[in-house]
Amino acid sequence: MKTNQHLAPHLTGLRAKRPVQIKPNGLDIRLNQLAQQLGVTLKELAPLLQLSESTLHRLRRQTALSGPTAERVELLQQVIQHGLRVYADDEQALQDWLRYPLGELDGRTPLQTLTTIAGFTQVNDVLGRIEHGIFY
């Protein structure tokens, strides 16, 4: 079965050059930090990475990420960094915004939108409009 995963780098501008190497137990720490920054549980993080909860728990024991999962972790990090710039490093304000339904996202929350590659672009676009004072 052929997938469209080969299109992701063209849509996002990201291309994983090699697997992301992480120290032993480091992946578990990195995923926990990612969840903490987003204000989500690991159960809520799994769909953002396009993983089942059981697969996410298995990955936590590994020392490397590659392919689409590594790209999604990188995309989430970019959204977090952009959001922290917009909200002046106020992590709680970013977490609140991520859970707030937005008209620009058809009434969905940014977290709900981050389940697709196109959603990452939409969320970053909304953050860019906030950053530049462009409101509808």
Candidates 60, 61, 92, 87; CA nearest to 73 is: 60
Q: Is residue 107 part of a domain?
A: yes
Q: Is residue 2 part of a domain?
A: no
Q: Is residue 9 part of a domain?
A: no
Buried b (16+ CB within 10 A) or exposed e, 52-91: eeeebeebeeeeebeebbbbbbebbebbbebbeebbeeee
C-alpha to C-alpha distance for 109 and 63, rounded to whole angstroms: 32
Q: Is residue 124 part of a domain?
A: yes
C-alpha to C-alpha distance for 114 and 34, rounded to whole angstroms: 14
Q: What is the pLDDT of residues 36-53, one digit of tens each?
A: 999 999 999 999 999 999
For residue 59, give its domain range. 19-131
Q: What domain count does the chain have?
A: 1
Q: Is residue 79 part of a domain?
A: yes
Q: What is the pLDDT of residues 59-112, one digit of tens each?
A: 888 877 778 988 999 999 999 999 999 999 999 999 999 999 999 999 999 999
Q: What is the pTM of this model?
A: 0.78
Q: Is residue 60 part of a domain?
A: yes
Q: Is residue 12 part of a domain?
A: no
C-alpha to C-alpha distance for 61 and 94, rounded to whole angstroms: 29
Q: Is residue 116 part of a domain?
A: yes
